[in-house]
Amino acid sequence: MKVAIFGASGLLGKELMREWTDDDLVGLNSRDADVRDAKQVQNAVDRSAPEWIVLAAAYTDVDGCETHRDLALAVNRNGAVNVAEAAKSVGARLLFLSSDYVFDGTKGSPYETGDARNPQSVYGRSKAEAEVRLLEILPQCCIARTSWLFGMGGKCFPDTILKLAATRPTLDVVNDQRGCPTYAVDLARAIVELCHKNASGIVHVTNSGDCTWFDFARAIIKGAKLATEVRPTSSQKMARPAPRPAYSVLSPASLHRYGIAMPSWEDALQRYLQQRLG
């Protein structure tokens, strides 16, 4: 099977390129094709002639999206439309990476794939609008929603916590936002399986279990055997430009229907720390 990956140089893209060993892969980054440019996207797809396209390219700076709204929509929504149109023109299947931020966080129990979208941030809106458009263009496309992504070779929460802990005796971390940390290696492996199983529709793909950012930070510090004290605080005290869902745990039911189970986030964190710290 021939596969083209948009966003191959990103945190997830790098893992997809490493983990996807049994198929013919073409990795595309922004120098190969800017997803905002429909002609560049079409040319890249025509050259690679893939059977599957994985769209992992995105503008993921959630706070940056608030101040650069037009850029966020141009990349995350319009760019996705460009890739979907190109996929349709060559008869390729498409897997699109989406986010827990399409939800408002008011539910209080794990979100199912059919729950109503109600994004509260520009980033969430850009992903939600992309989902709607893609399902119109390619009804058989696969939308893989994930959350709290971390991994090697890119900016992520564990990396930030470890760097801050190296210079601070205490860290204040919000304890009123709950979600599912997801390791890029495990997400990449699940995506490979989904494509091999010809997945379609919306699938929630995260490591199993859930926690708050405070819980996550405390586990990072403990796993790294550091002495830094982690203290719980509120989102109100740590105000950010973009609102975050208070609760964005994604139900694994849609993933389990494909016979795919993800390791726990604690197990994933342990493997990340082994790789990160050596």
pLDDT at position 259: 98
Mean pLDDT along residues 81-100? 98
pLDDT at position 220: 98
Mean pLDDT along residues 103-126? 98
What is the spatial distance between Cα 181 and Cα 188, in angstroms, rounded to a whole number?
14
**Antiparallel, parallel or unpaired: β 211-212 and 178-179:** antiparallel
**pLDDT(239) > 90:** no
* Phi, psi at 131, each rounded to 5°: -55, -50
Residue 45, phi-psi category: left (phi > 0), alpha (psi -120 to 50), beta (remainder): alpha
**pLDDT(36) > 90:** yes
| pLDDT band with cut points at 50, 70 and 90 for residue 12 | very high
**pLDDT(67) > 90:** yes
pLDDT at position 154: 85
**pLDDT(96) > 90:** yes
Residues 6+ apart with CB under 8 A from 63: 240, 241, 242
DSSP letter (8 states) at residue 191: H
Reply yes or no on whether 123 is catalytic. yes
**pTM recorded for the entire structure:** 0.98
What is the spatial distance between Cα 92 and Cα 114, in angstroms, rounded to a whole number?
25
Question: Among candidates 143, 168, 169, 147, which has minimal Cα distance to 156?
Answer: 147
| pLDDT band with cut points at 50, 70 and 90 for residue 133 | very high
Q: Residue type for 81, please?
A: V
pLDDT at position 153: 85
For 149-178, how does the pLDDT look when each residue is reduced to its tens digit (9 = 90+)? 999 988 999 999 999 999 999 999 999 999
Mean pLDDT along residues 68-96? 98
**What share of the chain has pLDDT > 90, as a percent?**
98
DSSP string for 136-148: HH-TT-EEEEE-S
For 188-228, how does the pLDDT look when each residue is reduced to its tens digit (9 = 90+)? 999 999 999 999 999 999 999 999 999 999 999 999 999 99
**Antiparallel, parallel or unpaired: β 142-146 and 201-204:** parallel
Mean pLDDT along residues 87-92? 98
Third-level CATH fold of 2-152+182-208+248-263? Rossmann fold (3.40.50)
Question: Among candidates 203, 212, 202, 208, which has minimal Cα distance to 247?
Answer: 212
Pick the range with the lowest mean pLDDT from 133-137, 141-145, 153-157, 253-257: 153-157
**pLDDT(278) > 90:** no
Mean pLDDT along residues 70-79? 98
pLDDT at position 177: 98
| pLDDT band with cut points at 50, 70 and 90 for residue 263 | very high
Strand blocks (E) in 77-209: 93-99, 142-146, 149-150, 170-174, 178-179, 182-183, 201-204
| CA-CA-CA-CA torsion sign (80, 242, 179, 117) | negative
What mean pLDDT is reported for the chain?
A: 97
The active-site residue out of 101, 111, 123, 183 is 123
